[in-house]
Amino acid sequence: MVMPQALLEKSLDKRVSLFLKDGRVLEGKLTGFDEYMNMVLDETIENNAAGEEERRLGTVVLRGNNVVSISIL
């Protein structure tokens, strides 16, 4: 069994893709998270639904309750 938090820990410093509740998709390097699944991403890029780069956001803190899913890239 792979606990969700354990998978996040194994994914530190890897690139992940986050689907947010508001439809935005953020891609960045996962550098931290806490027990509420709040997350810290570095070198974050916001992509539109078609997967094209929209904006460079740099370092971002994300509130866990707005995250739908996290894909490990």
Binding site for a second copy (CB under 8 A): 1-8, 12, 19-24, 26, 31-34, 37-40, 44, 57-73
Q: Nearer to a second copy by C-beta: 34 or 53?
A: 34
Shortest Cβ 43–a second copy spacing (Å): 12
Shortest Cβ 53–a second copy spacing (Å): 15
- 63 three-class SS: coil
Distance CA 10, CA 55 (A): 27
Shortest Cβ 71–a second copy spacing (Å): 5
Q: How far is C-alpha 14 from the chain's CA centre?
A: 10
Structure tokens at 72: 């490990």
